[in-house]
Structure 1
Amino acid sequence: MTAALIVARNATKVLPGIAPVTLVRDLNLSIGARELIAITGPSGSGKSSLLYMLGLLDLPSSGDILVNNRSTTAMSAEERAHMRLTQFGFVFQFHFLLPEFSITENVALPMRALGKLSQAAISARAMELLNSLDLGDHLRKRPDQLSGGQRQRVAVARALANDSPVILADEPTGSLDSISTMQVFEMLRDLVTEHGKTVVAVTHDVNLATQMHRRLHIVDGHLEKDERTPMAIAQGAG
């Protein structure tokens, strides 16, 4: 069994206030390499809150998130920011591409933030990623000149920019039609099967969840189920 990439230990997230709201409760789980995981559950159950804690976009109120066996709650904000850039790529429902930049410039942003490559190398990698996702004819276009499915492919390219081992997706197909939904899902699946990434995706789509290897079902902030899907069992995955 491969070593865990991410471990949640008694992770709890509470929104403070006169009447505090607990979003995630004493959650424990382990995520390894080359996993394709769905996070499911009713609206407001804590799915996105969990994803944001796993990706260090938010800190737990108590408990810990370990990445590569390192406690992240003990890190400085700068250390967590660096770990986000190197270990995680993010895909969101509404892509959050910057409208004033071309799609090539959008994909370049994480690489510029990391600061490891020259400008020429950054541009070359951005174009290579976009070409690999059949967007080579649109390199100079802005996001508003593309379809919803194309914009989500740009978001996937941006998530891959720093070659991070883990891709976290929050309802990545929630605003897409059925054809674009399957295209984006197949891309995420290929990241696991062809490129060795780990993909964790929040989804309301039961059909998509059953096509992943593992399902984490959250209800009222509790992890109610952590199970291999029927498809994973049939394929002998996990």
Structure 2
Amino acid sequence: MTTPLIEARHVTRILSGVVPTTLVRDVSLSIGAREFVAITGPSGSGKSSLLYLLGLLDLPTEGEVLINGRATAHMDEKERALTRLSFLGFVFQFHFLLPEFTVLDNVRLPMRALGQLSSAAMRERAAHLLDALGLADHMHKRPDQLSGGQRQRVAVARALANEPPVILADEPTGSLDSKASGQVFDLLHELVEEHGKTVVAVTHDMGLAERMQRHIELLDGRVVADEAHANVTPLTEPRSNSVHNASDSPS
């Protein structure tokens, strides 16, 4: 039996306060290799909270999260950080690129944190990823010199920097227009279909969710539906650039 890449076992997250708030309620699910998963639900349903728990950005109050079969409950922060850096890539709605750094330096940040490559190899891999994403002419610019869609592609390049098997995306198209949204969706789809990644994306866009291979719906912190969909087709015309062979850059 294949080990899930991510598994949640009876996970609950309660936010303490004068009136405690339950963000996630007794969620159990597993996510395997090459899955393209949408997490949807109304505002306040626990979508992002669940994603942060799956990505070890937050800790459950009850239950546990396993990463590639490894329990994480007793990891210290250093071990959790190392697991995030090596196994998980993150893309957020507001990209969180550092404005004082160039695009190239933003992509190098996860590699520097992991500390497994030489400076030259980090630069070469970052440049290769940006070229594959159609950003070769922008790598020495700062984020505020790019469009929203370009900044989000930089965020995807940064998420891929350490070659993680899993990409977790929180509303990755939420701040983009329809054209840029379609391009980002197709890029995530390409990561699954052509490069064997697993992508789990929180989205409020039901049109996108219905085009993903699996659709998990939350309500009041609980999973109320978990459905498989038919094969996914791209939303836009094929791009001239591709992430093809991005994994062949220096490692």
Query: In 2, are the aligned partners of 1:90 and 1:167 still within 8 Å (CA)?
Result: yes
Structure 1 vs Structure 2 CA RMSD:
1.2
Deviation of residue 232 (structure 1)? 3.9
- Structure 2 length normalisation: TM-score? 0.91
The residue that corresponds to 1:117 in the other structure is 117
1:18 Cα deviation after fit = 1.4
Q: What residue number does 2:92 align with?
A: 92
**In structure 2, distance between residues paired with 1:177 and 1:187:** 15
Partner of 1:82: 82
CA–CA separation in structure 2 for the residues paired with 1:159 and 1:58: 18
Q: Distance in 2 between matches of 1:163 and 1:181?
A: 23
The CA distance in 2 between the partners of 1:101 and 1:76, in whole Å, is 30
> Structure 1 residue 218 and structure 2 residue 195: aligned?
no
**1:168 alignment counterpart:** 168
Amino acid at match of 1:19: V
**Structure-2 separation of matches of 1:196 and 1:42:** 30
The one-letter amino acid paired with 1:70 is: R
Residue equivalent to 2:11: 11
Structure 1 residue aligned with 2:55: 55
Checking the alignment, whether the CA contact within 8 Å between 2:171 and 2:201 is kept in structure 1 is yes
Q: Which residue of 1 aligns with 2:239?
A: none
Q: Which residue of 1 aligns with 2:22?
A: 22
Which whole-Å CA distance do the structure 2 matches of 1:115 and 1:161 have between them?
A: 12
Task: Tell me the percent identity.
Answer: 65
Pairwise CA distance, 1:2:
3.4
Q: Partner amino acid for 1:64?
A: E
TM-score (norm 1): 0.96
Q: What is the Cα deviation at residue 76 of structure 1?
A: 1.2
Report the AA paired with residue 213 of structure 2: H
Distance 1:208 1:233, change over 3 A: closer
Aligned length: 233
For residues 202-225 of structure 1, give each alpha carbon's deviation from its aligned partner in whole angstroms, at most 9, with x where no partner exists: 000011001100001000000000
Runs of 4+ in 1 over 2 A off after TM superposition: 231-234
Q: Distance in 2 between matches of 1:194 and 1:143?
A: 28
Residue number in structure 2 paired with 1:105: 105
Mapping for residues 143-182 of structure 1, pairs under 5 Å: 143-182=143-182
1:69 aligns with 2:69: yes
Q: 1:233 offset after TM fit, Å? A: 9.6
Q: Is the CA contact 1:214–1:232 (under 8 Å) kept in the aligned structure 2?
A: no
